[in-house]
Amino acid sequence: MCFKKHKRPHVTNIVKMVLNDNLNDGHYLCFGRDVAQWSLGFSMAKLERNSMNKSMRIFLLATALSGAASGMAFADDTSAQTGTMEFDAMLTEGSCVLAGNTIDHNFGTLSKAQPTVTTTSSGNFKAYKVYTDKISVSGCPAEFTEVLMTPTFYTSGNASNIVRNTSASPNKTNAIMLIGGESGITNLYSSGVTQKFPISGDTGGAEITLVSQIAQDMKQQASPGDGEYNVTLAFDYD
Amino acid sequence: MMNFNKAIAVSVLMVGISTVPAYAADNDAGSLHVQGTFVDSSCLIAQNELDKQIDFGDFAKSTVSAVAQDGVVFSKPLTFNITNCPAITNSVGIKFDFDQVDFGKNYIKNTGMGKGAVFGISSGLDTNAIPTGSKIETTAFNEQTATINAQVNIYRTAENYTVGDLKSTANVTLVYN
């Protein structure tokens, strides 16, 4: 869109003031917007050259100023390039932070003849090796009051609280594993049974003691062979 | 005087011609209005920098509550690489338009079910959320290329927490002058 400078000083001065630019006779000032409005100004300028009187020039001036003001409103040249951005997130109840929850032990070589180190409180089992591990639970949201831990494992026979030896070796020991919450394991954990641990209001966490015993029935002796015992621990919070 | 009257008459006639169709609308009439501008050249940006889906993943209420109200919980950068700007370009920017929240902040309305946190846009220099229609721009050009750094933030609000998704949309436009 273009505007041609008028020869009459009052028109030129006003346009210069609005547009902040110098116009020379016979040149056109062009803008990137409002084509229709500035074209109208150009047409009227031609009319002026032929027969337009003073009042018509006033009309032209008003039109030109209208175009100038409108052009100024589009200071930004906006490209046709647009896009859409989508933002997503999920606000959750939250969870506690676990540490020490992946436990791996290798008891190496044990002699079936070696003295046992402890027995369960029931007196039915003797242990050749005992592991005591600590699982740290921290950063719990204030609304949580307890940690729910559910061990799952292949059981031995009909006893849901004896961890079966799942070694793939053709030569497997008959030793089993027992798990519980304290050294004497007065309460053997059973597969699929949830254990609950209170969350401290002061610390927002809990420390879970997990005791594992490689053991054998008191009436039997461990047989030579390989042993492998796996327990999956699932944690939830309430 | 006669010339003056004729001119006025012409003026009035022009006004009449331009306004009559507006009052002569009929249910079997129509119009086509096409408008636009061609320019010699324009700044360019890869379309995949304008169309994005940004996922912050899951975060817990406790993470939000650890931040002060109107504080930023998480931020992710929005980088726009603009090329091919005309040599006379003074500044180039990205304009963000979105449905703004109605509680007096510059955040983007959340269309998800979660409450207690919302999205907002800021420049890459701070975390002050900009209102809709604002642009983040730069005047720093290097051989007619420029980089604009903005970021999308998750702000904690005064709302009570409700577990659920946060989902917002902003339209972006490349602008320059």
pLDDT of A123: 76
pLDDT of A66: 39
Query: Is 50 exceeded by the pLDDT of residue A75?
Result: no
pLDDT of B38: 63
Q: Torsions phi, psi of A103, nearest 5?
A: -115, 135
pLDDT of B146: 94
DSSP bridge pairs for A133: A210
Please, which pLDDT band fits residue A51 given cuts at 50, 70 and 90?
A: very low
Please, which pLDDT band fits residue A78 given cuts at 50, 70 and 90?
A: low
**pLDDT tens track for A8-33:** 333 333 333 333 333 333 333 333 33
pLDDT of B161: 85
Please report, rounded to a whole number, the percentage of residues in chain A having pLDDT higher than 70. 66
Cβ contact B58–A93 (<8 Å): no
For residue A86, the chain B residues in CB contact (below 8 A) are 52-54, 167-169
For residue A59, the chain B residues in CB contact (below 8 A) are 7, 11
Nearest to B24 by CA among B34, B35, B16, B12: B16
Q: d(Cα A41, Cα A47) in Å, to the nearest integer?
A: 10
For residue B3, the chain A residues in CB contact (below 8 A) are 51, 53
For residue B117, the chain A residues in CB contact (below 8 A) are 89, 91
Of A54, A90, A141, the CB nearest to B62: A141
Contact status, residue B135 vs residue B97, Cβ threshold 8 Å: no
For residue A90, the chain B residues in CB contact (below 8 A) are 57-59, 114, 164-166
Query: Is 80 exceeded by the pLDDT of residue A94?
Result: no
ipTM (interface pTM): 0.73
Point out the residues of chain B with pLDDT beneath 50. 1-2, 4, 7-25
Which of A141-150, A209-218, B11-20 is predicted least confidently? B11-20
Please, which pLDDT band fits residue A46 given cuts at 50, 70 and 90?
A: very low
Tokens representing residue A4 in the block: 């041609």
Q: d(Cα B97, Cα A98) in Å, to the nearest integer?
A: 42
Which of A66-80, A102-116, B57-71 is predicted least confidently? A66-80
CA A86, A92, A96, A101 torsion: positive or negative? negative
Please report, rounded to a whole number, the percentage of residues in chain A having pLDDT higher than 90. 36
Scanning A56-85 for CB atoms below 8 A from B yields 56, 59, 75-79, 81-85
pLDDT of B31: 63
Q: For A63-76, what is the mean pLDDT?
A: 38
pLDDT of B77: 96
* Mutation target among A90, A93, A138, A140 for the B interface, most CBs of B within 10 A: A90
Q: What angle do CA A128, A133, A138 make, to 5 degrees?
A: 170
pLDDT of B97: 97
For residue B162, the chain A residues in CB contact (below 8 A) are 91
pLDDT of A229: 94
Q: d(Cα A54, Cα A47) in Å, to the nearest integer?
A: 12
Of B3, B117, B172, the CB nearest to A91: B117
**HEC string for B104-118:** CCCCECCCCCCECEE
**End-to-end CA gap in chain B:** 47
pLDDT of B26: 52
Scanning B77-136 for CB atoms below 8 A from A yields 78, 93, 95, 108, 112, 114-117, 119, 135
On average, the pLDDT of chain A sits at 72
* Mutation target among B8, B41, B62 for the A interface, most CBs of A within 10 A: B62
pLDDT of A60: 39
Q: For A105-133, what is the mean pLDDT?
A: 84
Contact status, residue B174 vs residue B43, Cβ threshold 8 Å: yes
Of A78, A139, A140, the CB nearest to B173: A78
Q: Which of the residue ranges A101-105, A180-184, B7-11 has the most confident prediction, judged by mean pLDDT? A: A101-105
Please, which pLDDT band fits residue A141 given cuts at 50, 70 and 90?
A: confident
Cβ contact A84–B164 (<8 Å): no
Cβ contact B39–A77 (<8 Å): yes
